[in-house]
Amino acid sequence: MPFVEKVLKDPVHDEIVVEDPWIWQLINTSAVQRLRRIRQLGTSYLTFHGAEHSRFTHSLGVYETMRRVLAYLGKEYGFPETERERKLALAAALLHDVGHGPFSHTFETIYPVHHEEWTKRILLEDDEIARLLAEVDDSFAEDLVGILSKRGKHRTIEQLITSQLDVDRMDYLLRDAMNTGVNYGRFELGRLIRSLALADGAVMLKESGLHTAEQYILARYFMYTQVYLHPVTIGSDVLVGNILRRAGELWTAGQLEDMPRFLQAFFVEQSAVSVKDYLAIDESTLLYAFRIWSTTEDKVLSDLAERFLNRRLLAPIVRSELNSVEWAALRTSARAMGFHPEYYISVRKSEVSAYVYRGSGISVLKTDGSRSELSMESRIVRSLIPDTEYRVFLPKEMVEGDHAVAGRVRSIIHQQG
């Protein structure tokens, strides 16, 4: 049977069009399908209940955005010149997140291999994906890895995939805004795409697209300040991290029986986890683990796991940094209430960085042919200098109520300049 173009309904782009059977086969690999079991926004759904969408839907959206970008660049700039380059761009878009694991960013604090590293290994080592990539030619997979590593060989595609004006952000800003139900975070996707220019192999912004780019940068600013770095979400991440840390320590010490088979490799020191091992885990593995740990003997682990599952999260306190005296006092207070400070008090610095001009700013191609940098052209963008928030997370019981400890903790917390 000849391949019939697939049109998938999508809440963001209305329709996602798959014209090429090879792309359809990539979508149907187990490595890509696994992304259906990993939420795009990690623990954000505990803050914004609608944020339940997966990395799979995002990956399709990035693919679709790239497809539209290429249609435009093809017409305007004759890019890409070859079918091979087109395939590189589309595959890079579809597969750029394939190495994400469950609650990736937090998981990386336990098993310190970055998800981008996994992405590359999967492209090269997963049988199914590698076979499909090799269908194009022998060096295709390597070139794809090169693009995701920004090695410079396919500079235009690299910038379209990863830069401050890339198809990844274009999709996720719109998709995350839509699913969380917030009204900000919108920009004109069609016009932003038409504002792209190619010059000297680099992706630039046409001067006429200045305001459209401002909208897009501001969408990022609002999503960061209001959604991505929401203190409740960060507190959930902290909890996941502490659960995994405690479980790992117990397991290594031989004090934990219930460690799901697929997770074990990640907790053996200096283990070499294989791609196959890695692809075997997804969010259901961790959620299942949390469930069994919630009934385990270790009081710290069972309590933390139960807190996560039932959304009794750690409370976020915005503070300037704690000094060592305050820090010691907090730990003492925690112990006084039976909370092991190592697992119940955490600090986290969150950085809002809607736009970074140093090194990698967005290039603006001006009408007269000269080049500039976006923050030079836009006062609004210039105003978005990175900002940091310092937060302390601890059990709500430590701050609320009439008891003496709570009083002491409250006084520590508010003792700031």
Binding-site string for its own copies from residue 143 to residue 182, where x marks contact by CB under 8 A and - marks none: -----------------------------------xxxxx
Distance separating alpha carbons of residues 354 and 80, to the nearest angstrom: 29
Pick from 18, 41, 42, 53 the residue near its own copies by CB under 8 A: 53
Provide, rounded to whole angstroms, the least separation between the CB of residue 154 and its own copies. Answer: 28
Binding segment for its own copies (CB under 8 A), chosen from 105-113, 229-237, 285-293, 342-350, is 285-293
| 401, 406, 411, 413 alpha-carbon torsion, rounded to 10° | -100
Provide, rounded to whole angstroms, the least separation between the CB of residue 14 and its own copies. Answer: 6
Q: At what angle do helices 127-136 and 83-95 cross, to 10 degrees?
A: 160
Judge whether 171 and 61 are in contact, CB under 8 Å.
Answer: yes
Pick from 23, 41, 44, 56 the residue near its own copies by CB under 8 A: 56
Pick from 2, 9, 369, 402 the residue near its own copies by CB under 8 A: 9
Binding segment for its own copies (CB under 8 A), chosen from 53-61, 105-113, 164-172, 228-236, is 53-61
List CB contacts of 8: < 8 A, sequence separation 6 or more.
15, 16, 17, 18, 60
Judge whether 334 and 394 are in contact, CB under 8 Å.
Answer: yes
* Residue 151 or 311 with smaller CB distance to its own copies: 311
Give the chain's length: 417
Q: In the range 196-255, which residues lie near its own copies by CB under 8 A?
A: 211, 214-215, 218, 221-222, 225-226
List CB contacts of 206: < 8 A, sequence separation 6 or more.
195, 196, 197, 364, 365
Pick from 20, 85, 125, 188 the residue near its own copies by CB under 8 A: 188
Pick from 22, 25, 50, 109 the residue near its own copies by CB under 8 A: 50
Pick from 104, 149, 285, 353 the residue near its own copies by CB under 8 A: 285
Q: 3-state class of 77 per DSSP?
A: helix
Q: In the range 357-416, which residues lie near its own copies by CB under 8 A?
A: 379-380, 382-385, 400
* Residue 22 or 327 with smaller CB distance to its own copies: 22
- Exposure string over 213-250, b if 16+ CB within 10 A, otherwise e: bbbbbbbbbbbbbebbbbbbbbbbbbbbbbbbbbbbbb
Judge whether 99 and 121 are in contact, CB under 8 Å.
Answer: yes
Binding segment for its own copies (CB under 8 A), chosen from 141-149, 265-273, 310-318, 342-350, is 310-318
Rg (CA), the chain: 23
Provide, rounded to whole angstroms, the least separation between the CB of residue 409 and its own copies. Answer: 15
Q: Does 303 bind its own copies (CB under 8 A)?
A: no
In this structure, what token pair is assigned to residue 93? 């878009």
* Residue 159 or 266 with smaller CB distance to its own copies: 266
Q: Does 68 bind its own copies (CB under 8 A)?
A: no
Q: Does 15 bind its own copies (CB under 8 A)?
A: yes
* Residue 109 or 225 with smaller CB distance to its own copies: 225
Give the binding-site size for its own copies (rule: CB under 8 A).
74
Q: In the range 311-340, which residues lie near its own copies by CB under 8 A?
A: 311-312
Provide, rounded to whole angstroms, the least separation between the CB of residue 384 and its own copies. Answer: 7
Binding segment for its own copies (CB under 8 A), chosen from 197-205, 246-254, 257-265, 266-274, is 257-265
* Residue 99 or 146 with smaller CB distance to its own copies: 99
Distance separating alpha carbons of residues 172 and 13, to the nearest angstrom: 12
Provide, rounded to whole angstroms, the least separation between the CB of residue 137 and its own copies. Answer: 26
Q: How buried is 2 (Cβ within 10 angstroms: 0-12 exposed, 13-18 middle, 19+ buried)?
A: exposed
In this structure, what token pair is assigned to residue 282? 């997804």
In this structure, what token pair is assigned to residue 324? 């060592």
Pick from 254, 261, 269, 402 the residue near its own copies by CB under 8 A: 261
The alpha carbon dihedral of 147, 280, 227, 57 has a sign of positive
Tell me how far CA of residue 293 lies from CA of 67, 253, 266, in angstroms. Answer: 44, 16, 17
* Residue 139 or 284 with smaller CB distance to its own copies: 284
Provide, rounded to whole angstroms, the least separation between the CB of residue 398 and its own copies. Answer: 15
Beta bridge pairs of residue 364: 205, 372
